[in-house]
Chain A
Amino acid sequence: MKVELEADKCVASGQCVVAAMDVFDQDDDGIAILLEETPAPELLDDVREAVAVCPAAAIRLVER
């Protein structure tokens, strides 16, 4: 599975970082950064939570 992040949609809520700290971080302005494009399987639940809570629909989890 691959994570896609559309940073221009991001509203800097930080929710993805809280949900999946190993996969997301924020830049100096709080805009999300993807740390792991293809996270390990045990991180996928966290990523799904990030997808669900992102207020800007900026994150997607897609089949590779």
Chain B
Amino acid sequence: MADTLAGPVPEVPDAVPEFPMPRSGRCPFDPPPGLKDLQEETPLTKVRLWDGSEPWLVTRYAEQRAILGDSRVSADTDKPGYPTKASPEGGEGKLSFIMMDDPEHARLRRMVTAPFAIKRVEALRPAVQRIVDDLIDDMLAGPQPVDLVEAFALPIPSLVICELLGVPYDDHAFFQDNTKTMVHRDATPEQRGRASREVAMYLAGVIGQRLAEPKDDLLSSIAGRIEAGEIDHQQATEMALLLLIAGHETTANMIALGTLALLQNPDQLALLRETDDAKLVASAVEELLRYLHITHLGRRRAVTEDIEIAGQVIKAGEGVIMVNEIGNRDPDVFPDPDRLDITRDARRHVAFGFGNHQCLGQPLARMELQVVYGTLYRRIPTLKPAGSLEDVRFKEDAFIYGVHELPVAW
């Protein structure tokens, strides 16, 4: 039956499960139980999406990595079979090179890899530490309870990206306000759209200034590519916007959801609070990336040439979804996968994806999370949720999973 389902209304009894699936009310950190069941049954199965299309869902770690590393799949959302995400917020738009294939993808990506090299990222660590410490100072000086998302989790990546791009200090407030609106839970699609255009125009303006007067920052090096004739002004702006968007809500949700997960696992939180071993902090970051995995709608691809895998043939023109969230809970790779254990070796997780599109900003995200997890609970050892878990609203329907707000006190 697999290849006759492209028509509009299949008359056959419905055995194809819907995707995405609801999470269980029991544990907000665990993947939907339906997905875990599918993983147990089979490495590869069809699912039905919001638009009636039926791409393949890849449930296990090894097959997910194999397909994400395969050159016969495309990240171009316009390719036939690409599994589109339901878009309550008016679509994702084309986000520069993350929706392109090689060689153009590689050409554009390589233009912005330099600042994410490990040593360059390490050089930013003191600046990130300062940002984190300042925000904690502000929280401690203010009233309780405070929403950790708004006061801490969202500003950190926004300020870090200012640092990285080279947004002048005087413009931080403007930049912060607009980036906040871009991801704010109560903003209308129009408000989000407007904020995002404001930021794009702003970035285009700074790139223009850097063209005339280069500095030692990422916007200058992007401007340099315009001068060299490698990209136009529009592409340069899109690239800068991509770097901002990709690192903003993702990192923020890892901070807030990670804190909530640790508060729910006090033994793990205690380990982290009491250590000054940078290795254990780094290990906690990897484990939380594995355990939480916030890009819950999966990495998606269109298949451009038949691929034989796990005894199946995925045909050219079909779609394929890798929910890395369940790949990271594959018991063949991570024993006792549903347990949060910051001392385990979780480095092989696929939270950043795999293959040529694997997250470009991962060294920066790791470093930010290391600073946050290594600082927040030590500086506020009595940190606790101000309310019960039942009242926390989770971002079930959002592109990036997390919490809408997290009221905390100490």
Contacts and interface: CB of A to CB of B under 8 A. Distances in A.
Given A11-B358, A12-B360, A28 B114 contact: yes
Contact of A49 (B69, B106, B347, B363): B347
Contacts of B356: 11, 55-56
Interface in A23-39: 26, 28-31
Nearest to B69: A57
B117 to A, nearest CB: 4
Interface residues of B, number: 25
B118 A55 contact: no
B289 to A, nearest CB: 12
Most A C-beta atoms less than 10 A away, residue of B113, B119, B359: B113
Contacts of A52: 348
Contact of A29 (B68, B113, B363): B113
A56 to B, nearest CB: 6
Interface in B345-367: 347-348, 352-356, 358-360, 362-363, 366
Interface in B108-141: 109-110, 113-114, 116-119, 121
A5 B146 CA distance: 49
A3 interface: no
Contacts of A12: 109-110, 113, 116-117, 360
Given A52-B348, A55-B69, A13 B358 contact: yes
A6 to B, nearest CB: 13
A50 B356 CA distance: 16
Contacts of B113: 11-12, 29-31
Contacts of A17: 117-118
A56 B354 CA distance: 8
Nearest to B347: A53
Nearest to A8: B106
Contacts of B347: 19, 49, 53
A32 B358 CA distance: 15
Contact of A55 (B109, B114, B354, B366): B354
B117 A30 contact: yes
A55 to B, nearest CB: 4
A56 B110 contact: no
B114 A29 contact: yes
B354 A14 contact: no
Nearest to A11: B356
A31 B113 CA distance: 8
A55 B358 contact: yes
A14 B355 contact: no
A39 to B, nearest CB: 18
Contacts of B354: 55
Contacts of B366: 18
A59 to B, nearest CB: 13
B330 to A, nearest CB: 14
B156 to A, nearest CB: 21
Interface of A: 11-15, 17-19, 26, 28-31, 49, 52-53, 55-57
18 contacts: A11-B360, A12-B117, A13-B363, A14-B118, A14-B121, A26-B117, A26-B118, A29-B110, A31-B110, A31-B113, A49-B347, A55-B69, A55-B353, A55-B354, A55-B358, A56-B69, A56-B355, A56-B358
A-B pairs, top 9 by smallest CB distance, nearest first, are: A55-B358, A30-B113, A12-B113, A30-B117, A26-B117, A14-B118, A17-B118, A14-B363, A55-B354
